């Protein structure tokens, strides 16, 4: 650098002594110089600029121009933390004509105010700048340099001049090139340097897929993978919604963590989406950790003896007895206790449980208990289930799940399952068969996560729960290397030996309760006490930024269709071709009207999307995310389903003992042990539940859609109207 830049202003207010060049002996050829430079050397660039976006193209062009510049002007590379700005300096240096010279890096935040590490020669030695000769100097984090050092670095950037504190009065010229990196603007340096501003990763979302695949290939090979795995487009789209405050450094850590979570010796062709988990978008306020409040509760709840005894010692055999009872006992609900247990107890209780414990039922569901039993027996016989297919599974599984639930609803209505014991047992056994086949086909609980209709409903309403099981991201990313909570493994520390999360999900990755059954397997396996059982506000999972599976909105419409199907006569009975009953008569008209009643909510939803001024409001506020309206109405749907099943539960659940013993002729002896609510009490409870659902949906409309106040007031009439119509429907029970 032989002359100062014209736009840098005056070099110094004092008259400078004539500049003297470095000592005649080439500094880089000295063994002592090499020893001094060795701790600071950069041998090569780590990687090029990945991506095809205009930001990546502009950055590559800026690097090319800086490398081709013949004036050797200083370069200031600015950008947020984690953008590998030192690598960009290396790309410029090794892409220039000075590529055969050395490149050294120093951190300005660690230098002394007089810059002695850079300028001072010491007794009988050369200064670092003199040793560097015509090489390049990279000063990292120049914005954090001591205040007294900044003028010296500014002078070095202007004209390459510097002075040795041990040789006062003499000034030297650095013939090499200077690079600076900074995380904030430095007006003093801007005019003296060529500026390269590196855009953050959140701005270059188009490049994320290319960065991710490149990083996976590089890291997998360095970790000993014989063949780099692929990543799904669904994963890329999900990660594009995350801002990556740590930029490329955070992405690199994310990739390494994901690869290490996959079991040793079992290298999947496609990485599971669940091994990629990021930090929360904001602080998790209003959370209360139950286990910190009552530590002994954690020890009791994570006991394998408790879970094994409950699942394999009780639930599995009770399920067998219930099915035998349904097949061999009386076939009507007034004389079969198992039928009473199924329809008067299970349905109301599971709906009541959703706002409290979410998807807890799935943790001891008898369908999957027998699925696990069959899977363990198959493994003992030498059969190993395949790893379940990763990638965009939800893309086809979510619609299939919604279609399966629709088929169950139609079968329930046409076959009168509520009053037919053996058909109710057929439904239970059919779902169990799916769980067993799924368990034999794929590892863990593939059926539960993707295909079980009951599991889909449970996962949907679990978003309303006030409880959640989550891991602390900082502890998992900073302390854990085994990831036993996700993939299983032997006991470590206070962690117990487990087979890993049955749904294949890391507890730090969870964005909502959909894929958490509260089985506490992660809490059993974790040796760091990272997993927490917490209380939170209701419906905390329903956020504007959420990214649910594409078919989940269809399940909401199917469940709403179940309400209209149960009361089809009030909605469609006036039509000329309507049958007298859906339980008897010719099958074709019964099936046609059942499907029509089931499709009514979907038809209304399509009409609502095509007509009405509310589209304009959502166009400005939700930007094509009209399906958020369905999630805002989710509390109302839950309330209407509960109101529909409350009459059966409150009127007949208390008669379980007399009904169960009626075939033995002892039912009359237990008439004093039965209880049934008055019709007015049932009606009041129905109205109260629906009112709570309407109120919760109105609040969610405001939070999810972020409408203007007047538009929100107008749109609030929709849950009021649907709540009133739903209350009219369930009153016909």
What pLDDT, in 10s, does the model give residues 318-358?
Answer: 999 999 999 998 888 888 889 999 999 999 999 999 999 99
- Collapse the DSSP code of 20 into the 3-class scheme (helix H, G, I; strand E, B; otherwise coil) and give the result: strand
Alpha carbon distance 613, 77 (integer Å): 50
Alpha carbon distance 405, 320 (integer Å): 23
- Collapse the DSSP code of 161 into the 3-class scheme (helix H, G, I; strand E, B; otherwise coil) and give the result: strand
Low-confidence ranges of the chain (pLDDT < 70): 1-29, 122-124, 168-169, 263-266, 279-285, 390-391, 478, 611-624, 664-672, 732-733
What is the predicted pLDDT for the residue at 280?
Answer: 57
Our measurement of the distance from residue 25's CA atom to the centroid of its chain's CA atoms, rounded to an integer in Å, reads 60
The answer for residues whose C-beta is within 8 angstroms of residue 376's C-beta and 6 or more apart is none
Alpha carbon distance 252, 456 (integer Å): 34
Q: Are 360 and 307 in contact (CB under 8 A)?
A: no
pTM for this predicted structure = 0.79
Q: What is the DSSP letter of 491?
A: -
**651-677 residue pLDDT tens:** 988 888 888 777 766 555 556 677 889
CA-derived radius of gyration, the chain:
34
Q: What is the DSSP letter of 203?
A: T
Alpha carbon distance 28, 646 (integer Å): 86
What is the predicted pLDDT for the residue at 670?
Answer: 59
What is the predicted pLDDT for the residue at 171?
Answer: 80
Q: Could you tell me whether strands 177-182 and 136-140 are parallel, antiparallel, or unpaired per DSSP bridges?
A: parallel
Dihedral sign, CA of 186, 188, 191, 194?
negative
Select from 351, 692, 358 the least CA-distant residue to 541. 358
136-140 sheet: strands from edge to edge: 103-107, 136-140, 177-182, 75-78, 194-197
Q: Which residue has the tokens 């002078």?
A: 155
**Between vectors from CA 354 to CA 652 and to CA 469, what angle results, nearest 5°?**
145
Alpha carbon distance 180, 189 (integer Å): 9
Reported as half-sphere exposure (CB side, CA atoms, 13 A), residue 111 has a value of 27
Alpha carbon distance 92, 445 (integer Å): 51
Query: DSSP strand E in 283-388: where?
Result: 288-289
What is the predicted pLDDT for the residue at 216?
Answer: 92
Q: Are 162 and 172 in contact (CB under 8 A)?
A: yes
């Amino acid at each position: 650098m032989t002359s100062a830049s014209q736009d840098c202003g005056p070099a110094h207010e004092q008259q400078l002594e004539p500049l003297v060049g470095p000592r005649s002996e080439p500094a880089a050829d000295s063994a002592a110089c090499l020893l001094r430079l060795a701790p600071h050397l950069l041998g090569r660039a780590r990687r090029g600029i990945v991506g095809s976006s205009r930001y990546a193209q502009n950055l590559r062009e800026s690097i090319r121009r800086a490398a081709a510049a013949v004036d050797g002007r200083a370069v200031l590379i600015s950008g947020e933390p984690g953008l590998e700005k030192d690598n960009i300096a290396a790309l410029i240096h090794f892409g220039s004509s000075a590529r055969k010279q050395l490149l050294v890096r120093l951190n300005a935040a660690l230098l002394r105010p007089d810059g002695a590490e850079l300028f001072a020669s010491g007794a009988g030695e050369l200064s670092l700048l003199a040793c560097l000769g015509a090489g390049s100097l990279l000063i990292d984090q120049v914005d954090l340099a001591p205040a007294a050092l900044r003028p010296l670095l500014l002078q070095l950037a202007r004209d390459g001049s510097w002075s040795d504190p041990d040789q006062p009065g003499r000034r030297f010229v650095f013939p090499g090139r200077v690079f600076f990196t900074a995380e904030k603007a430095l007006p003093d340096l801007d005019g003296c340097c060529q500026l390269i501003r590196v855009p953050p990763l959140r701005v270059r979302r188009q490049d994320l897929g290319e960065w991710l695949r490149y990083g996976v290939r590089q890291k997998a090979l360095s970790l000993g993978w014989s063949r780099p795995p692929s990543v799904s487009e669904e994963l890329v789209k999900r990660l594009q919604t995350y801002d990556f405050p740590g930029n490329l450094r955070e992405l690199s850590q994310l990739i390494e963590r994901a690869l290490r979570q996959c079991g040793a010796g079992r290298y999947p062709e496609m990485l599971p989406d669940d091994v990629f988990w990021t930090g929360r978008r904001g602080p998790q306020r209003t959370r209360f950790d139950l286990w910190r409040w009552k530590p002994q509760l954690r020890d009791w709840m994570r006991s394998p003896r408790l879970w094994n005894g409950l699942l394999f010692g009780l639930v599995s055999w009770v399920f067998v007895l219930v099915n035998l009872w349904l097949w061999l006992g009386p076939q009507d609900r007034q004389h079969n206790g198992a039928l009473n247990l199924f329809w008067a107890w299970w349905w109301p209780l599971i709906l009541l449980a959703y706002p409290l414990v979410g998807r807890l039922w799935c943790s001891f569901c008898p369908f999957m208990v027998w699925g696990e039993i069959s899977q363990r027996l198959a493994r003992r016989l030498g059969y190993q289930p395949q790893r379940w297919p990763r990638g965009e599974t939800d893309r086809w599984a979510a619609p299939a799940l919604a279609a399966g639930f629709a088929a169950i609803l139609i079968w329930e209505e046409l076959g009168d399952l509520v009053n037919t014991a053996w058909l109710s047992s057929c439904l239970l056994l059919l779902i169990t068969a799916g769980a067993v086949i799924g368990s034999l086909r794929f590892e863990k609980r593939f059926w539960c996560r993707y295909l079980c209709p009951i599991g889909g409903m449970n996962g949907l309403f679990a978003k309303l729960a006030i409880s959640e099981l989550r891991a602390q991201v900082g502890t998992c990313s900073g302390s854990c290397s085994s990831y036993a909570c996700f993939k299983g493994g032997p006991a470590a520390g206070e962690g117990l030996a487990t087979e890993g999360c049955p749904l294949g999900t890391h507890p730090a990755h969870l964005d909502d309760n959909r894929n958490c059954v509260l089985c506490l397997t992660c809490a059993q396996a974790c040796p760091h006490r990272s997993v927490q059982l917490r209380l939170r506000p209701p419906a905390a999972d329903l956020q504007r930024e959420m990214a649910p599976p594409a078919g989940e909105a269809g399940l909401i419409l199917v469940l709403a269709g179940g309400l209209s199907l149960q009361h089809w006569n009030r909605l469609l009975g006036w039509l000329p071709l309507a049958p007298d009953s859906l339980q008897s008569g010719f099958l074709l008209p019964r099936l046609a009207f059942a499907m029509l009643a089931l499709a009514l909510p979907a038809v209304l939803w399509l009409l609502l999307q095509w007509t009405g001024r509310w589209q304009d409001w959502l166009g400005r506020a939700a930007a094509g995310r009209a399906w958020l309206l369905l999630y805002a109405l989710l509390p109302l749907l839950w309330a209407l389903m509960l109101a529909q099943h409350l009459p059966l539960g409150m009127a007949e659940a208390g008669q379980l003992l007399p009904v169960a013993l009626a075939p033995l002729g002892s039912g009359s002896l237990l008439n004093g042990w039965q209880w049934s609510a008055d019709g007015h009490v049932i009606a009041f409870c129905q109205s109260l539940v629906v009112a709570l659902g309407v109120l919760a949906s109105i609040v969610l409309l405001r939070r999810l859609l972020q409408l203007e106040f007047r538009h929100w007031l107008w749109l609030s009439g929709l849950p009021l109207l649907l709540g009133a119509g739903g209350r009219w429907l369930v009153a016909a029970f």
